[in-house]
């Protein structure tokens, strides 16, 4: 059975989408798959998030924001929140880790690049830890 690594942020419109994309890009271990979700409904991924990921050769334009569900939480092998753990409706302590990442919403593209690079470094470490 494939184990889901779940990335959660406020709207699933930037940070968690980047984490999911990087995870699925770098992970080569078929035992794991990345998934992301948000705490609030939104209609689209932020344009700067799409732009800065394209700079890394990753196209997220086909991805859509997803709302976090209790089923996702229950089925997740590990959960990584992007700095929103206090708002998360359920964060089982045995499998939830908060990366405490700043939300780039409303900030210039440079802030998105900084967050993107931090997420990429953390995801590479996580993929390595999981043997992928």
**Catalytic residue positions, numbered:** 9, 84, 88
Cα dist from 17 to 47, 55, 67, 131, whole Å = 12, 15, 12, 22
CA 126/CA 6 separation, integer angstroms: 12
**Secondary structure of the chain: what % helix, strand, coil (to 5)?**
40, 20, 45
Sign of CA dihedral 62, 63, 64, 70: positive
DSSP letter (8 states) at residue 122? H
The number of C-alpha atoms within 13 Å of 67 and in the hemisphere containing its C-beta is: 7
């Amino acid at each position: 059975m494939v184990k889901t690594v779940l990335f959660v942020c406020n709207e699933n419109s930037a940070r968690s989408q980047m984490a999911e994309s990087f995870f699925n890009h770098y992970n080569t271990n078929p035992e794991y798959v990345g998934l992301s979700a948000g705490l609030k409904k939104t209609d689209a991924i932020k344009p700067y998030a799409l732009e800065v990921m394209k700079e890394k050769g990753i196209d997220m334009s086909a991805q859509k924001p997803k709302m976090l569900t209790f089923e996702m939480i229950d089925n997740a092998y590990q959960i990584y929140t992007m700095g929103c753990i206090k708002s998360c409706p359920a964060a089982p302590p045995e499998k939830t880790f908060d990366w405490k990442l700043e939300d780039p919403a409303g900030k210039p593209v440079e802030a998105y690049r900084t967050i993107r690079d931090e997420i990429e470094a953390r995801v590479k470490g996580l993929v390595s830890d999981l043997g992928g």
